[in-house]
């Protein structure tokens, strides 16, 4: 009893110096709880898109990519929980957020027949210099979390981003797209051959990056493509 009281006292004291905050809402977490508070776990703005074959995610790719399935886990809004989580994942070194969200979403996706048919998970790669600076690729962490929960293998380097860059400003949509397309390579096509690839990324906005990656994958013999992201922006 005394020990428990002492520990709680110590926890509270430490909390003053090292506040343990929920990564989604920023409020104080109870002692010995980590990551996301219980309230946020329930209130995550889930899209439930994976339950519908045609949904606002797949609509973005109509006429661009023949998708087997596509969905985003959460709605991404300015100042919302998803934006906070992604910020921690990308800019605050909180790698565990990516794995955690992958685990959560993987548990839902494995109940969706089309997603369950995927045979290989590939993360959208970062530009090598950016990855070097950050130390990790946030989409790869999400891929790892999904892989664990779905029991589907993932390849960290199935797709690679080349060093190629050109300034994107003052270019037409087509020129921009051609730039993005040249940015990706598949170093070992034999590892992708005949696979139903689940491409994953952090946030889907215009979908241009995912589209360029999908086109690369579809150049390899016998491939099919599905997509999943953590967030989808309006």
**Shortest separation between residue 9's beta carbon and Zn ion, angstroms:** 24
Pick between residue 19 and residue 153 the one whose CB is nearest to Zn ion.
19
Q: Binding residues for Zn ion, per CB under 5 A?
A: 22, 24-25, 37, 40
**Shortest separation between residue 148's beta carbon and Zn ion, angstroms:** 23
Burial class, 90, CB count within 10 angstroms (exposed 0-12 / middle 13-18 / buried 19+): middle
**Shortest separation between residue 24's beta carbon and Zn ion, angstroms:** 5
Pick between residue 21 and residue 208 the one whose CB is nearest to Zn ion.
21
Pick between residue 18 and residue 173 the one whose CB is nearest to Zn ion.
18
Q: Report the chain's terminal Cα–Cα distance, integer Å.
A: 52
**Shortest separation between residue 41's beta carbon and Zn ion, angstroms:** 8
Pick between residue 33 and residue 119 the one whose CB is nearest to Zn ion.
33
Distance from C-alpha of 46 to C-alpha of 80, rounded to nearest angstrom = 12
What 3-state DSSP class applies to 194? coil
Q: Looking at the chain, list the stretches that DSSP marks H as alpha helix, in order from N- to C-terminal side.
A: 2-17, 38-43, 56-59, 81-91, 95-109, 113-116, 128-134, 138-150, 173-182, 208-218
């Amino acid at each position: 009893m005394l020990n428990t009281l002492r520990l709680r006292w110590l926890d509270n004291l430490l909390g003053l110096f090292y506040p343990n905050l929920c990564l989604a809402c920023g409020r104080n977490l109870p002692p010995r709880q980590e990551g996301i508070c219980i309230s946020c776990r329930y209130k995550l703005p889930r899209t439930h898109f994976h339950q519908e074959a045609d949904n606002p995610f797949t609509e973005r790719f109509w006429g661009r990519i023949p998708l087997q399935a596509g969905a985003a886990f959460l709605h991404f809004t300015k100042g919302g929980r998803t934006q906070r989580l992604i910020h921690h994942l990308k800019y605050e070194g909180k790698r565990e957020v990516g794995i955690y969200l992958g685990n959560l979403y993987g548990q839902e996706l494995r109940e969706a027949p089309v997603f369950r048919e995927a045979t290989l998970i590939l993360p959208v790669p970062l530009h090598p210099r950016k990855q070097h600076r950050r130390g990790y690729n946030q989409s790869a962490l999400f891929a790892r979390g999904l892989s664990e929960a779905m029991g589907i293998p993932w390849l960290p380097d199935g797709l690679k981003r080349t060093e190629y860059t050109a300034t994107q400003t003052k270019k037409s949509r087509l020129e921009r797209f051609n730039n993005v397309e040249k940015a990706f390579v598949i170093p070992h096509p034999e590892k992708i051959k005949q696979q139903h690839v689940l491409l994953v990324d952090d946030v889907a906005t215009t979908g241009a990056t995912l589209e360029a990656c999908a086109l690369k994958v579809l150049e390899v013999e016998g491939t099919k493509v599905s997509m999943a992201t953590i967030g989808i922006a309006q």
